[in-house]
Amino acid sequence: MIFFVELLIGGLISGMVVGLAALAITLVFGIARFPNAATGDMMTAGAFVALGISGTTGLVIVGGVVSAIVSAGVGMAMYVLVFRKLAGRTKVANLLASIGVAFFIRAVVALTFGHQQEVFQLPLVRPWRLFDIRIQPIDVYSAIVAAITLAVVFSILYATPIGRRMRAVADNPGLAQVSGISPTQVMVALWALAGAVSGVAGVMYGIKTVVTPEMGWDMLIPAFAAAILGGIGNPIGAICAGLLLGTLQEVATPFVGFTYKIAISFVVLLIVLLVRPAGLFGQTEGAR
């Protein structure tokens, strides 16, 4: 029982990473209306930036803050240089462009940092014990960082003028533009926010595992599965679905093995698409 409780705790931390990545995907989809396949490689870039900064300063938290800022800048650059020019094109065109951007980011990261596996240099500390349950301090710190990130994101979305403009564009782009909302301003803010969230998710994922140029690509399927499970375009649903998927994957590890636990995401994705395509928190829209 203690073993499975520890797996559950680890699953919740992994679920936070998946949830943050799914949140970045669903933010872009909710407003820009296409699935951003570059989210995983934006996570990779954020992890490597944090790794370099923390190696220089010795402070992972400083690396994480710089990573979020740099990732926000990468997101804005992606919009200005690529997706702004594709405005009005089909979802497929934007999806293919995001795949191209993902390969470009991965190539730049690999050329800059190499292909070897890297790890964050963290001090060795004893796990905390609660009723014989071992809790890693880094897991608690990661949970706090995730909670702060979510608080900032939802505060921006629901308590700031730019957040209200984002939600207006997500609900009805045509009406929002007629009302005087600048699409360019909204999109720049959107891509900055999605980039920052991706960077934080990348740092958390890199701390839990290892940092490689392919790490974000490996996280992309669980993130997409969580975004769809939660109802694509629904930020709260993305977080809840990420927690659920992360927990299921970790708890299933003793039965399917570490290598095949990612298959849980494929199974969940398939079931959701077959049974409830709108997701658990999505709403099915009719058409006449």
- Amino acid identity, residue 20? L
pLDDT at 134: 83
pLDDT at 287: 41
Distance in angstroms (rounded) separating the CA atoms of residues 246 and 157: 25
**DSSP string for residues in 33-98:** -S--TTHHHHHHHHHHHHHHHHHHHS-HHHHHHHHHHHHHHHHHHHIIIIITTTTTS-HHHHHHHH
- Amino acid identity, residue 9? I
Give percent of the chain above pLDDT 90: 37
Residues 6+ apart with CB under 8 A from 123: none
Distance in angstroms (rounded) separating the CA atoms of residues 140 and 13: 8
Task: Name which residue leads in pLDDT, 48 or 288.
Answer: 48
Distance in angstroms (rounded) separating the CA atoms of residues 281 and 272: 11
Dihedral sign for Cα atoms in the order 9, 150, 79, 179: positive
pLDDT in tens, 86-119: 887 888 999 999 999 999 999 999 999 888 888 8
Which domains are assigned to the chain?
2-118+140-275 (1.10.3470)
CB 60 within 8 A of CB 214: no
Residue 134, H or E segment: strand 133-135
Distance in angstroms (rounded) separating the CA atoms of residues 176 and 172: 6
Q: 3-class SS at 128? A: strand
> What's the whole-number average pLDDT of the chain?
86
pLDDT at 41: 93
CB 35 within 8 A of CB 226: no
Q: Which of 96-105, 241-250, 254-263 shows the lowest per-residue confidence on average (mean pLDDT)?
A: 254-263
CA distance readout (Å), 119 to 48, 61, 111, 113:
10, 15, 18, 13
Name the token pair of 11: 């699953």
Distance in angstroms (rounded) separating the CA atoms of residues 120 and 49: 11
Distance in angstroms (rounded) separating the CA atoms of residues 68 and 202: 10
Distance in angstroms (rounded) separating the CA atoms of residues 172 and 181: 11
What is the value of pTM for the model shown? 0.90
Distance in angstroms (rounded) separating the CA atoms of residues 170 and 166: 6
Q: 3-class SS at 240? A: helix
Overall size of the chain counted in residues: 288
What dihedral angle (degrees, nearest 10) is formed by the CA atoms of 210, 214, 219, 220?
A: 170
Point out which residues pair with 134 in neighbouring strands.
129
pLDDT-derived band at 58, boundaries 50, 70, 90 = confident
pLDDT-derived band at 83, boundaries 50, 70, 90 = very high
